[in-house]
Structures are given as C-alpha cells and as structure tokens.
Amino acid sequence: MIVPMSHILIFSGIMFFLGFACVLAQRNLIMILIGVEVMLNAVGVTLAGASALWQQVDGQIFVIFLMAMTSAEVSISLAVVVYLSRRKKTIEADAFSEMNG
C-alpha cells in the first residue's frame, strides 16, 4: 500500500474532529450540516482505507452506501432548513427551542 494505514487513520481522525468542532461551535444550521458531512466523509475515508488494507470490497461498497445515504439526508435536511427559515426568518439553531421540557 502506498499510503500507510496509520496516516489514513490520523487524517480521518483530524477530519472527524474538525467536523465535530464545526458542529459544536457553529450556530448556523447550514454550517452544522456541513460539519456533519465532514464527519461522515471522515468515516468514509477510513472505510476506503480499511478496504485497501484488507483487500476486501465491502468497505468501498459501504462508502457508496454512505454517499447515497448522505445525499438523501442532505436533501431532507435542506428542505427542513428552508422550511424553518421561512417560519422564523432565521436559521440560527438556538432560535428553535420549542421542544424544551
């Protein structure tokens, strides 16, 4: 393998935590969704790397599943975001706290 597995893992770990930090730190719904995408893709990198490591095709199939799932998720999420922004004229996540206990 050209790229060692440890590099892949370090790269995807950094990517994951960058996405995670984005999710936690951003108040904007779109930015949070982007953070989630980054985290999902970090996992995809790991899966592709592992597939190459063990010479098994399962990992790559999973990545394709992941892409399909992600596209579906993004389409729904964006629809929700559009709906929310119409309701309150804002997409700040903290503005939507009606579900409090």
User: In the complex, which residues of this chain contact another protein (CB under 8 A)?
Assistant: 20, 23-24, 27, 32, 93-94, 96-101
In angstroms, what is the minimal distance from the CB of 2 to another protein?
29
Interhelix angle 58-88/29-54, nearest 10 degrees: 180
Q: Minimal distance in Å, beta carbon 70 to another protein?
A: 19
Please, what is the minimum distance in Å from the beta carbon of residue 32 to another protein? 7
With beta carbons less than 8 A apart as the criterion, state whether 51 and 60 touch: yes
Instruction: Count other Cβ atoms within 10 Å, centred on residue 10.
Output: 11
Q: Which of 72, 75, 22, 65 is nearest to 43 (CA)?
A: 65
